[in-house]
């Protein structure tokens, strides 16, 4: 099996923290583990963990209270959903759409497939 | 700061230098991976930094000390874990009582914690341990000394599977901005996620010396069923396709550094 996730560790760590927020393991306005604690639990270089926290801080998903650590932003869940949707519809969908186009799948067919998928999930 | 300037060393009886006209500089607060083929001089370099060997020519400076002077002050600030470890046949307790006073930052608590995570009792006798257990006991002691410079030669050799992951955790736990850790290894997959910085050497000198962050910016590392058409600078068939390396353009997302690929790429360029 070819492992396709070749994203840098700092990106994957940031993603993992987002998952924990979406799964309600980290709650809004509550403190998350420190950079060091996170680095130890994930067995990664502290600078790598710090980079993941920086990305999330820049995106507004977490915020820093001086001397207290990092906290989950009030609107973190909505923000993560928005960012993920943008990536999904942006770079991630490109390969999928290019394949659909080669196979001449019409927008209607795609719409039906998606409706069927949603029904089957209920 | 560790700096070597035009350092050469030759073992007695050898016809060529193990290290020739070698220069490098390392700032503090980094975990450095030292990579090189067998016989590239990695261990020699660690011995020169720790004062076990005297350079034939050139300057070695470690945080302002000349290691070869072997001043007690310098020796209390550096710890070397060699690849093969000889320990006296005494209890760990007796060992700690005899050796920990040399290290002002030694922490009993760090030692206990590391031993616990390595699944070793603190009541062990060093003469009655397997090779792997000996390594674990010595690594636990080395990390607990909290020396500003810690050198480790193939630290994961002989460790069992949970031992490797506990080792990584213990390294991160004892790391801080004043500390420099140099790890010489062939087992890059055991350690790549710990590193800030990579140095690849052969006995003619440094072939690559860069931070992981810079390498992520410069190169794209990938695995694909079919080789990309453009820009591949190195590739190797692997199960199910190819591992490859390309120069990165600013519009491309960064990828994790594949140290095996990087090493093979660097060694295949024989300029």
CA of A20 vs chain B CAs: smallest distance (Å): 21
B140 and B236 fall within a common domain:
no
In a domain, B52, yes or no: yes
Fold of A9-76: Arc Repressor Mutant, subunit A (1.10.10)
B117 and B169 fall within a common domain:
yes
User: What pLDDT, on the 0 to 100 scale, is given for residue B227?
Assistant: 87
Out of B180, B203, B226, a domain closes at B203
H-helix or E-strand containing B106? none
User: What pLDDT, on the 0 to 100 scale, is given for residue B186?
Assistant: 92
Overall number of domains in chain B: 2
Q: How far is CA B157 from the centre of its chain?
A: 12
CB B47 within 8 A of CB B3: no
B80 and B99 fall within a common domain:
yes
B8 and B141 fall within a common domain:
yes
CB B140 within 8 A of CB B111: yes
In a domain, B208, yes or no: no
ipTM of the complex: 0.84
User: What pLDDT, on the 0 to 100 scale, is given for residue A5?
Assistant: 76
Interface test with B, best of A3, A6, A87 (most B CBs within 10 A): A6
> Does residue A2 register a pLDDT over 50?
no
**Average of pLDDT values for A48-55?**
96
Q: Tens digit of pLDDT for each residue in B28-52? A: 889 999 999 998 999 999 999 999 9
B31 and B122 fall within a common domain:
yes
With beta carbons under 8 A apart, name residues in chain B contacting A46.
Answer: 172, 175
User: What pLDDT, on the 0 to 100 scale, is given for residue B270?
Assistant: 59
pLDDT 10s digit of each residue in chain B, 271 long? 899 999 999 999 988 888 989 999 888 889 999 999 998 999 999 999 999 999 999 999 999 999 999 999 999 999 999 999 999 999 999 999 999 999 999 999 999 999 999 999 989 999 999 999 999 999 999 999 999 999 999 999 999 999 999 999 999 999 988 899 999 999 998 999 999 999 999 877 889 999 999 999 999 999 888 888 888 999 999 888 899 999 999 988 899 999 999 999 999 985 4
User: What pLDDT, on the 0 to 100 scale, is given for residue B133?
Assistant: 94
DSSP code at position B65: B
pLDDT band at A1 (very low <50, low <70, confident <90, very high): very low
3-state secondary structure of B223: strand
Q: Does A50 touch chain B (CB under 8 A)?
A: no
A47 to B196: CB separation less than 8 angstroms, yes or no: yes
User: What pLDDT, on the 0 to 100 scale, is given for residue B153?
Assistant: 96
CB A77 within 8 A of CB A29: no
In a domain, B67, yes or no: yes
pLDDT band at A90 (very low <50, low <70, confident <90, very high): confident
> B-side interface with A, Cβ within 8 Å?
31, 165, 168-169, 172-173, 175, 193-196, 212-213, 216, 221-225, 238-241, 253-258
Q: Which residues contact A122 (CB under 8 A, 6 or more apart)?
A: none
Give the domain extent around B259: 213-268
B193 to A4: CB separation less than 8 angstroms, yes or no: no
> Does residue A92 register a pLDDT over 60?
yes
B101 and B59 fall within a common domain:
yes
Work out the percent of chain A whose per-residue pLDDT is above 90: 79
B35 and B167 fall within a common domain:
yes
- Label each residue of A12-49 as H, E or C: HHHHHHHHHHHCCCCCCCCECCCHHHHHHHHCCCHHHH
Interface test with B, best of A47, A87, A91 (most B CBs within 10 A): A47
pLDDT band at A95 (very low <50, low <70, confident <90, very high): confident
- Residue B77 to residue B28: CA distance in whole angstroms: 13
B83 and B146 fall within a common domain:
yes
CA of B242 vs chain A CAs: smallest distance (Å): 9
B144 and B64 fall within a common domain:
yes
B120, B118, B191: which is closest to B152 by C-alpha? Answer: B191
For chain A, domain boundaries: 9-76
In a domain, B196, yes or no: yes
B13 and B147 fall within a common domain:
yes
CB nearest A45 (choices: B31, B222, B255): B31
In a domain, B262, yes or no: yes
Q: Does A8 touch chain B (CB under 8 A)?
A: yes
In a domain, B236, yes or no: yes
pLDDT band at A4 (very low <50, low <70, confident <90, very high): low
Q: Does A1 touch chain B (CB under 8 A)?
A: yes
The CATH number covering residue B172 comes to 3.40.50.300
B228, B220, B232, B167: which is closest to B194 by C-alpha? Answer: B167
User: What pLDDT, on the 0 to 100 scale, is given for residue B225?
Assistant: 84
B79 and B159 fall within a common domain:
yes
């Amino acid at each position: 099996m070819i492992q396709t996730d070749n994203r840098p560790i700092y990106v994957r760590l940031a993603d993992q923290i987002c998952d924990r927020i979406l799964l309600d393991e980290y709650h809004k306005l509550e403190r998350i583990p420190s950079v060091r604690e996170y680095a130890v639990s994930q067995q990664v270089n502290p600078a790598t963990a710090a980079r993941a926290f920086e990305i999330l801080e820049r995106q507004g998903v977490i915020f820093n209270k001086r001397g207290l650590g990092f906290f989950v932003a009030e609107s973190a869940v909505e923000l993560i959903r928005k960012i993920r949707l943008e990536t999904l519809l942006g770079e991630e969908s490109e390969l999928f759409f290019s394949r659909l186009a080669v196979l001449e799948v019409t927008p209607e067919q795609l719409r039906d497939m998606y409706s069927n998928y949603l029904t089957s999930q209920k | 700061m560790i700096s070597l300037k035009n350092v050469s060393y030759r073992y007695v009886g050898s016809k060529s230098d193990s290290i020739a006209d070698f220069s490098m500089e390392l700032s503090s607060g980094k975990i450095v991976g030292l990579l090189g083929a067998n016989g590239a001089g990695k261990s020699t370099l660690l011995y020169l930094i720790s004062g076990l060997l005297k350079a034939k020519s050139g300057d070695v400076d470690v945080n302002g000390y000349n290691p070869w002077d072997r001043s007690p002050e310098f020796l209390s600030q550096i710890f070397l874990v060699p690849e093969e470890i000889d320990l006296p046949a005494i209890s760990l307790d007796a060992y700690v009582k005899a050796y920990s006073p040399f290290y002002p930052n030694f922490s009993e608590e760090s030692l206990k914690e590391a031993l616990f995570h390595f699944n070793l009792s603190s009541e062990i006798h060093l003469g009655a341990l397997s090779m792997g257990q000996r390594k674990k006991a010595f690594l636990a002691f080395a990390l607990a000394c909290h020396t500003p410079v810690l050198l480790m030669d193939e630290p994961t050799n002989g460790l069992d599977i949970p031992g490797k992951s506990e080792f990584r955790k213990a390294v991160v736990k004892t790391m801080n901005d004043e500390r420099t850790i140099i790890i010489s290894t062939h087992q890059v997959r055991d350690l790549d996620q710990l590193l800030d910085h990579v140095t690849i050497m052969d006995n003619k000198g440094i072939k690559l010396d860069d931070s992981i962050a810079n390498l992520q910016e410069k190169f794209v590392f990938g695995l694909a069923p079919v080789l990309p058409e453009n820009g591949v600078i190195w590739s190797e068939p692997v199960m199910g396709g190819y591992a490859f390396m390309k120069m990165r353009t600013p519009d491309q997302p960064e990828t994790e550094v594949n140290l095996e690929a990087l090493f093979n790429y660097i060694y295949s360029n024989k300029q």
